[in-house]
Amino acid sequence: MSYRRLPNTDQARITALTSIADLENNYGFHDLPLSNSLVDMAKTQLHTFKNTVNLHRQAVEMWQEGNKKYREILKNLTVYITHFVQVYNMAILRGELKKEGRAYYNIDIEDDTLPDLSSEDNILDWGQRLTEGERQRTLNGGSPMTNPTISNLKVHYEKFTNLNFDQKIKKNYIAYTKEALCKEREKADVLIKEIWDEVEKIFAPLPEKERFEKCKEFGVIYYNRTSEKSVNEPITENIETKKFDIEPVQIQIEKQAETFYEEINEEKIEKKQPELFIEKSEIELVTIYETDDKEQKKDTNLKIPFD
């Protein structure tokens, strides 16, 4: 028997509510099978739900659009920070700078490793440390770094901080619209269920097939159960079953009845047939062989138990 299932996607909810909201166009205001209050509630909920879905979609699209530029700036800033530290360490090895200068960047004077930039917070922290440290070092008489200069690094750092703030705002807006959308989904589901219950109640006296067709006109969705679907008949049901002493050629049973190949050579015939879904007990091993007069037969006397 067919069963009813409520919509599980936003588009399916919109379709169901639209079917109810358009009833006046199909039946007229005075000939509506449903109450006018339910139809009006469906119209209101449809309008609100559409707007909420669009707001959430726009919020996600704005974040995605900004994220492309954000990732590009993030990559560039990471390269600048890494190169700045590398160049400073090489200048110390060449004797051009003193290792004590690392203290301006809050780095241990003996630490010559590259910074950990595996997170956005670390990138922001290192950008600020290098920018402020280089300013303090040059104010105290140190020679400014070149290739890259701190001004180049600072440009990318400021761009990154601005985009980072914008992306956080957009993420918060996405969370806000998502919360609002979840609430509207619940309201829509409750209203759709109430309307569908009323529709099925109205057409309950009709025969089953006619009742389903009428309910579908009001947007009610029905599904057939798996047990009601037709099952493919086995292809080998009409093959004669006898036992011979000729060595059999095993039929390979496959999962779906999609292919059926036949290869004819001078001395053998091989066929593949679809797999039959059999309970975990034992199955017949169907075999095909070739007699001297080229007549195909099969043997079903062998049994193969499942483990």
pLDDT of 108-139, one tens digit each?
Answer: 999 989 999 999 899 999 999 999 999 999 99
* Residue 193 lies inside a defined structural domain of this protein: yes
For residue 283, give the 3-state DSSP assignment: strand
- Domains in the chain, number: 2
Q: What is the pTM of this model?
A: 0.60
* Residue 218 lies inside a defined structural domain of this protein: yes
How far lies 116's CA from each of 64, 80, 119, 153, 250, in Å?
A: 26, 13, 8, 17, 62
Asked whether residue 125 falls in the same domain as residue 198, the answer is yes
> CB 296: neighbour CB atoms within 10 A?
13
Q: What is the mean pLDDT of residues 267-273?
A: 42
As given in the structure block, the two tokens for residue 144 are 């400014």
Q: What is the mean pLDDT of residues 99-108?
A: 92
Asked whether residue 78 falls in the same domain as residue 5, the answer is yes
Lowest mean pLDDT among 31-45, 224-238, 277-291: 277-291
Give the pLDDT score at 1. 55
What residues make up the domain containing 286?
249-305
Asked whether residue 207 falls in the same domain as residue 105, the answer is yes
Check the CA dihedral 105-107-110-113 and report its sign: negative
* Residue 258 lies inside a defined structural domain of this protein: yes
> According to the per-residue pLDDT averaged within each range, which of 158-162, 193-197, 276-280 is highest?
158-162
Q: What is the mean pLDDT of residues 93-100?
A: 90
Residue pLDDT, tens place only, 31-76: 667 777 888 888 899 999 999 999 999 999 999 988 888 999 999 9
Of the candidates 165, 194, 226, which is a domain's last residue? 226
* Residue 242 lies inside a defined structural domain of this protein: no
* Residue 231 lies inside a defined structural domain of this protein: no
Give the pLDDT score at 214. 76
